[in-house]
Amino acid sequence: MNSSISRVVVLDQHLPEALPVQRVEVRRITIDPHTALGAHVHNGPVFGNIVSGSAVYQQAEDAEPQVLHPGDVFYEPAVERIARFDTEDEGVTFLAYFPLTAGQDATLDLV
């Protein structure tokens, strides 16, 4: 075993039901400083990791907001309302991973 390699599980998210994934779309998303994306819903699960900057993330209205920084990961469940994903002074860049079923395109709807 090579001692110069470290493998750490940072997220092990179980999905509420089996998902027949045909492809995974990965997007690099950049949001400008002081942008309040606000409440939104995705049509499928989204996994992400912060590359630079930070964002205030709140999954549900009654959940505690958390500030995500570079290296942090997050999960947004399919068709559940996400309360916040807002930037502050520095904006944010993150990679978002969209597991998609046959013929599905990833969507985001503001609510």
How far, in Å, CA of 69 to CA of 66, rounded? 10
CB atoms within 10 A of CB 3: 5
For the chain, list the domains and their CATH numbers: 25-110 (2.60.120.10)
Q: Which residues pair with 67 in a beta bridge?
A: 56
pLDDT tens-digit profile, the chain (111 residues) = 567 999 999 999 999 999 999 999 999 999 999 999 989 999 999 999 999 999 999 999 999 999 999 999 999 999 999 999 999 999 999 999 999 999 999 999 999
Give the N- to C-terminal CA distance of the chain in Å, as an integer.
Answer: 49
Identify the pLDDT of residue 2. 62
Identify the pLDDT of residue 38. 87
